[in-house]
Amino acid sequence: MNERDRISLAELARSSGKMLHRGDSAHLDEGAAPTLDDITGSLHFSPGDGRIWLNGQRMQLLHLSSLGSLRRELIESIGAERTRGLLTRVGYTAGARDAQLLRERWPDADPAALFSAGPRMHSLEGAARVEALHFEFDQALGTYRGEFLWHHSGEGEVHVADFGTGSGPACWMQTGYAIGYTSAMIGRLTIYREVECCAMGHQHCRLVGKPADEWDHVEEDLRFLNAEAFVSTTAYSEPQARRQAAVLAGDDGRPYADKEMVGVSPAFNAACHMLRRVAPTTATVLFTGESGVGKELFAHMLHQIGQRRDRPFVAVNCAAIPETLIESELFGVERGAFTGATVSRPGRFERASGGTLFLDEIATLSLVAQGKLLRALQEGEIERVGGVRSQRVDVRLVAATNVDLREEIRQGRFREDLFFRLNVFPIHLPPLRDRRDDIPLLMGYFMRHYGQKHQRRLTGFTARSVDALLNYAFPGNIRELQNLVERGVICADEDGPIDVAHLFTSGEESQAAYCSLAQSGRPTGAGDRAGGGAAAAPATSAGLPAAASGAGPTAAVRIDLLDALPAMLGDAQNWSLDTLENTLILAAVKRADGNLSAAARMLGLTRPQLSYRMKKLTP
């Protein structure tokens, strides 16, 4: 391949990259995967063992009348407001999961086709017939506008049957689905409002969507997404593209706080429910979970929503205090107790009296320190080092650990009696890989936070950076995501988007879910580690053969076809995208001796997609 060929392919790759994060319904290729046929082909019934699968995810049919009965009982028992919030969150989870499934199944699909696949999935699942009036988006700028009609809305029908027409919209679960799907696709919280509804007497239901920070009074919408009132609503809002850095502090003018809780996933909501349950009491709470999941944040919020909110909150990292100093740090020291103790000073127990004492990484305490802590908890009294009298203290103890304390007890490294004293009300905080529905919200929050902190204006995330973050394992959990986004804010160009190259620069191993053309003409990205490490073995989607998921010998065939492109195209000076596509299709069909199914596998397409493209071939 000569230099001119390499430059032409590089220019094509760059122009294709620009198209990866933009699109609108007016220029949608109806034959682009995933089509409705592709999606319906992913639905499998297994009557013999009682299972239904959609894109490798198990599904279950439900009578619409049963859904109506559930809604009615919920409204009558907990009220319409709480029922709306519950169903909105259920819908959000379903939409986010469908977005994840489609991204995994069609990793190289045109983003516009993936956006249109959401309404098709929703229609296939029987919620309504979705008609897209218009949508347009630019993922790098974080902009989105969408307007849809729902025909024959199931939720609207059952609501009218039970309660008649009213003054407000009733398609709560479907609205949550749209929010979850679009937010997961664009990497930014997108809010939909049902401006017309059949439950209000309209002929159809009409839905309008745009980013959260572009709505007026968006807190009214966000309160239905949050399981608890203490979960942040202001953290979801993001600055509009190219907003001046001077006003990046937030819509209400206040600077950002590091202690805002962000999340809507079921695992996050379950932890929040337990937090609300125990907050009004004085019970000891033990937070467990991996490093970086936010244990100190939850402990701080426990204090804020409890009865001791006006009293001190004292946090101690037990791992950071030497064993010889732990007693004086916790209980205080009297002047002259040891060399260097020139003044008397209170310990953490005294400073937290009347409030909350948080002991992080409590498993790192020595057995001697554990015994002294146990006595303080049992007696409610402490004695300073070198002191001669006991002092009563009134503290609410909150502890946290990232190790299994029961295993530590079996290994003889943790006192069993102290464990039972601490394990009054345990709350397990899930790792980020178990709450992936929260990743788009956390991405937007951290980008805005660090944009303000470092006085930098960023427009958003590219499509492939969203893919990479959604597919990353996050061994460091939220702390690692926070660091990655801060790194991206620093590395990205001013007034530009954050790309994969700005994020994974320190050896992180991420399975990239995108593919582009290198200057050599070979496809790169798919199967590579985002951090630049050795290529990872491509994983197949659940329940799919290797050829369907892009793995196997077809990848080598596609590379051979690309290498042969210059010879196929001859002396043509300007290669259009149509010419390139037509040439590849004809070469694949010829190599497969006219077998369209085999040719489609070579190109990474389905047979219907290839047939559609062949009909459009220029003579």
Span of 51-55, 360-364, 392-396 with lowest mean pLDDT: 51-55
**What is the pLDDT averaged over residues 276-281?**
94
pLDDT digits over 453-486, tens only?
Answer: 899 888 888 878 888 888 888 999 999 999 999 9
Q: Answer whether residue 552 shows pLDDT above 70.
A: no
Q: Which residue has the tokens 């559609």?
A: 612
Of the ranges 50-64, 67-81, 238-252, 580-594, which is most confident? 67-81
Please tell me the distance from the alpha carbon of residue 344 to that of residue 384, in angstroms, as a whole number.
Answer: 9
**What is the pLDDT averaged over residues 392-402?**
93
Which among 493, 497, 440, 490 has a CA at the least distance from the CA of 469? 440
Cis bond upstream, residue 431 (ω within 30): no
Q: Answer whether residue 568 shows pLDDT above 70.
A: no
Q: Answer whether residue 135 shows pLDDT above 70.
A: yes
Of all residues in the chain, the percent with pLDDT exceeding 70 is 78
**586 within 8 A of 614, measured Cβ to Cβ:** no
Q: Answer whether residue 247 shows pLDDT above 50.
A: no
Q: Answer whether residue 439 shows pLDDT above 80.
A: yes
pLDDT band at 530 (very low <50, low <70, confident <90, very high): very low
**129 within 8 A of 153, measured Cβ to Cβ:** no
Higher pLDDT, residue 245 or 508 = 508
pLDDT band at 564 (very low <50, low <70, confident <90, very high): low
**What is the pLDDT averaged over residues 53-72?**
86
φ/ψ of 72, rounded to 5, equals -65, -45
Q: What is the mean pLDDT of the chain?
A: 78
Q: Which residue has the tokens 């969408």?
A: 146
Amino acid at 578: D
Q: Answer whether residue 514 shows pLDDT above 90.
A: no
pLDDT digits over 108-119, tens only?
Answer: 777 788 888 888
Q: CATH for 283-418, among 3.40.50.300, 3.10.450.50, 2.40.50.140, 3.40.50.620?
A: 3.40.50.300
Q: Answer whether residue 430 shows pLDDT above 90.
A: yes
Taking the whole predicted model, whether its pTM rises above 0.75 is answered as no
Position 571 scores a pLDDT of 57
Q: Answer whether residue 401 shows pLDDT above 80.
A: yes
pLDDT band at 553 (very low <50, low <70, confident <90, very high): very low
Produce one character per residue of 59-94: b if its CB has 16 or more CB atoms within 10 Å, e if not: eeeeeeeeebeebbebbeeeebeebbbbbbbbbbbb
**What is the pLDDT averaged over residues 392-419?**
94
pLDDT digits over 250-262, tens only?
Answer: 333 333 345 678 8
Position 574 scores a pLDDT of 59
**What is the pLDDT averaged over residues 431-437?**
90
**361 within 8 A of 318, measured Cβ to Cβ:** yes
Span of 93-107, 194-208, 224-238 with lowest mean pLDDT: 224-238
**125 within 8 A of 181, measured Cβ to Cβ:** no
pLDDT band at 81 (very low <50, low <70, confident <90, very high): very high
Span of 363-372, 442-451, 498-507, 562-571 with lowest mean pLDDT: 562-571
Position 390 scores a pLDDT of 79
Position 41 scores a pLDDT of 81
**What is the pLDDT averaged over residues 541-557?**
38
Position 236 scores a pLDDT of 55
Position 562 scores a pLDDT of 58
Please tell me the distance from the alpha carbon of residue 191 to that of residue 206, in angstroms, as a whole number.
Answer: 14
* Contacting residues for 349 by C-beta, under 8 A, at least 6 apart: 330, 331, 332, 357, 376, 382, 393, 395
Position 126 scores a pLDDT of 87
pLDDT digits over 142-157, tens only?
Answer: 788 999 999 999 999 9
Position 283 scores a pLDDT of 94
pLDDT band at 271 (very low <50, low <70, confident <90, very high): very high
Q: CATH for 28-225, among 3.90.79.10, 3.30.1380.20, 2.60.40.1180, 3.40.50.1100?
A: 3.30.1380.20
**What is the pLDDT averaged over residues 535-556?**
36
Cα angle 330, 335, 341; round to 5: 75
Domain boundaries, the chain: 1-20+514-619, 28-225, 283-418
φ/ψ of 516, rounded to 5, equals -140, 180
Of all residues in the chain, the percent with pLDDT exceeding 90 is 33
pLDDT band at 302 (very low <50, low <70, confident <90, very high): very high
* Contacting residues for 618 by C-beta, under 8 A, at least 6 apart: 578, 582
Span of 1-10, 49-58, 253-262, 602-611 with lowest mean pLDDT: 1-10
Q: Answer whether residue 206 shows pLDDT above 50.
A: yes
Q: Residue 575 carries which DSSP code?
A: -
pLDDT digits over 350-390, tens only?
Answer: 899 899 999 999 999 999 889 989 988 888 888 877 666 77
Position 601 scores a pLDDT of 74
Please tell me the distance from the alpha carbon of residue 517 to that of residue 14, in angstroms, as a whole number.
Answer: 8
Position 187 scores a pLDDT of 80
Position 3 scores a pLDDT of 41
Position 280 scores a pLDDT of 93
C-alpha radius of gyration, the chain, whole number: 28
DSSP lists the bridge partners of residue 209 as 146, 192
Position 504 scores a pLDDT of 87
Position 549 scores a pLDDT of 35
* Contacting residues for 543 by C-beta, under 8 A, at least 6 apart: 44, 53, 56
Cα angle 105, 431, 186; round to 5: 45
Higher pLDDT, residue 530 or 352 = 352
Higher pLDDT, residue 352 or 574 = 352
